[in-house]
Amino acid sequence: MRIGAHVSLAGGLELAVQRGVERGCEAIQIFSQSPRRWHPSAYGREEIAAFREALAASPIEAVVIHAVYLLNCASEDRDLRAKSLKSLAHSLRLGEQIGARGVILHAGSAKNSSAEKAISRAGQTIRAALADSDGCALHIENTAGAGGTLGRSIDELEALISASGGGRRLGVCLDSCHLFASGYDIRSAAGIDRVIEEISAKIGLARIGSLHLNDSQAALGSNRDRHANIGAGEPGRRGCGAYSAAPGFAGLACVLGTPGEDHKGPTRAEVARARAYRRAGAKARASSSR
């Protein structure tokens, strides 16, 4: 597993690598563009080459891109769907250029329409974005289930993948905070193993493309998306350890998207803590299987 953090792009692509190194990351997650503006950042060939060079010279082994939160691929508003498609395709092309493991996407929100129709709209948008780009994988993230957001359950993730054409580039990103808030009790190794088994049966283990590790401030099944620093919420220290040490997750990029001790995002100390939890989780698994 490559443990790391979401890092800012401020000042340019290359600085994201530097921020990852400062935080002791083996994996980084970046936005593809400014998170509050629709206008995609255009990166020149030189900037991309500089990023790749900096990355190759660093201990960071995996990069994932997070699509910005403005997107709603499932919107009833045609214009918003078209803008979402354009931005998503841009992210996928950037992912290809920088060698990202995938673009992580919140599939969208049904708002007041039916989930079924919203899934079909999201599927059409995602299909079009995949057709308009090549290579880079797209990981649909599970959600906490707040306000009609799609992807709150494994069944819904499966429906989204099918609606998106079910191709090889499609995968899922699992967020521990969202799993917990949407009702999956992952406070123990058995709990997360059950989730992985269900995914294995319904979607396929190979589709698990990336991970987010966050604690939740909100209760089990509350459908509220409130990240806590790891160890400061639930599933908590033991749950985070069990999650990150799950055999089904070996080799994946696992990034923290926590508020951070000073509300500036995950710190070097927190990334180190995630690794310590993972080691403890692996030990606990080994001793319980003896």
Q: Kindly state the smallest distance separating residue 289's Cβ from Zn ion, in Å.
A: 32
Q: Kindly state the smallest distance separating residue 29's Cβ from Zn ion, in Å.
A: 9
Helix (H, G, I), strand (E, B) or coil at 31: strand
Residue 146's closest CA among 220, 215, 223? 223
Helices 13-22 and 45-56 pack at an angle, to 10 degrees, of: 20
Helix (H, G, I), strand (E, B) or coil at 262: coil
CA distances from 240 to 80, 126, 232, 246, 276 (A): 36, 31, 11, 10, 10
CB closer to Zn ion out of 181 and 282: 181
Residues 6 or more apart whose CB falls under 8 angstroms from that of 130 comprise 92, 138, 164, 165, 167, 169, 170
CB closer to Zn ion out of 264 and 290: 264
Q: Kindly state the smallest distance separating residue 77's Cβ from Zn ion, in Å.
A: 22
CB closer to Zn ion out of 156 and 225: 225
CB closer to Zn ion out of 225 and 234: 225
Q: Kindly state the smallest distance separating residue 233's Cβ from Zn ion, in Å.
A: 12
Write out the residues near Zn ion by the rule CB under 5 A: 141, 225
CB closer to Zn ion out of 26 and 225: 225
Inter-residue contact 265 to 258 (CB < 8 Å): yes
Q: Kindly state the smallest distance separating residue 146's Cβ from Zn ion, in Å.
A: 9
- Minimal CB distance residue for Zn ion: 225
Look up residue 200 and give its two tokens. Answer: 């294995």
Residue 248's closest CA among 174, 178, 182, 185? 174
Look up residue 249 and give its two tokens. Answer: 């997750």
